[in-house]
Amino acid sequence: MRAIYPGSFDPITNGHIDIIIRASKLFDELRIAVGGNILKNSVFSIDERVELIEASLRSQDVDISKIIVEKFDSLLIDYAKKVNADVIIRGLRAVSDYEYELQMALANKEMNENIETIFLVSSGKYSYLSSSLVKEIAYFEGDLDNFVPDVVKKNLRNKFQ
Ligand code: PNS
């Protein structure tokens, strides 16, 4: 089975990496799909985000044999069909994620009933972590050691310098 793990990844965090490692063990192919959320202003360009994901996975010694990192610029469900994905993976942290995730999953299901959304519950130690939180900590020069890989930390420092 082929899965997509879509998101803004602005930037990738240790919480995303945890989901990637776990999802890659469940599927034959995992495509990390970097998309634009039109409601969010991003700090990193889409190409920078793809590069940061690739560099982070390399630095964490993740088995990347089944993983593809790619950007997309369309409806997620159209992209999913184009790459023959069976499943969309989303990480679910707290209850607060649920409403937005439910809305997306139902809308995507309405547009293409053949593609399922599957939620992986975030590991407890990452259940509070988000890219927005990481950017705020970086902006105020806080300690990012437990939140993102070194390569992301360096790139955030450069952005906010
Ligand atoms: O990491 P995010 O910001 O929660 O990811 C959201 C993302 C990129 C997966 C979502 O905004 C998306 O799918 N964007 C592509 C456009 C689209 O299909 N929108 C309708 C979703 S029902």
What SS3 string covers the chain? CEEEEEECCCCCCHHHHHHHHHHHCCCCEEEEEECCCCCCCCCCCHHHHHHHHHHHHHHCCCCCCCEEEEECCCCHHHHHHHCCCCEEEEEECCHHHHHHHHHHHHHHHHHCCCCEEEEEECCHHHCCCCHHHHHHHHHCCCCCCCCCCHHHHHHHHHHHC
Q: Is the CB–ligand 1 distance for residue 111 below 6 Å?
A: no
Q: What is the pLDDT of residue 37?
A: 74
Q: Is the pLDDT of residue 110 over 90?
A: yes
Q: Is the CB–ligand 1 distance for residue 75 below 6 Å?
A: yes
Q: Is the CB–ligand 1 distance for residue 76 below 6 Å?
A: yes
Q: Using most ligand atoms within 8 A of CB, pick from 103, 104, 131, 134 the residue to mutate for ligand 1.
A: 104
Query: How many angstroms is it from 101 CA to the middle of ligand 1?
Result: 10
Q: Is the CB–ligand 1 distance for residue 21 below 6 Å?
A: no
Q: What is the pLDDT of residue 36?
A: 79
Tally Cβ neighbours within 10 Å of residue 96. 8
> Which atom of ligand 1 is nearest the CA belonging to 6?
9
This prediction has a pTM of: 0.96
Cβ atoms of 43 and 80 within 8 Å: the answer is: no
Span 33-80, pLDDT tens digits: 999 777 778 999 999 999 999 999 999 878 889 999 999 999 999 999
Query: How many angstroms is it from 76 CA to the middle of ligand 1?
Result: 6
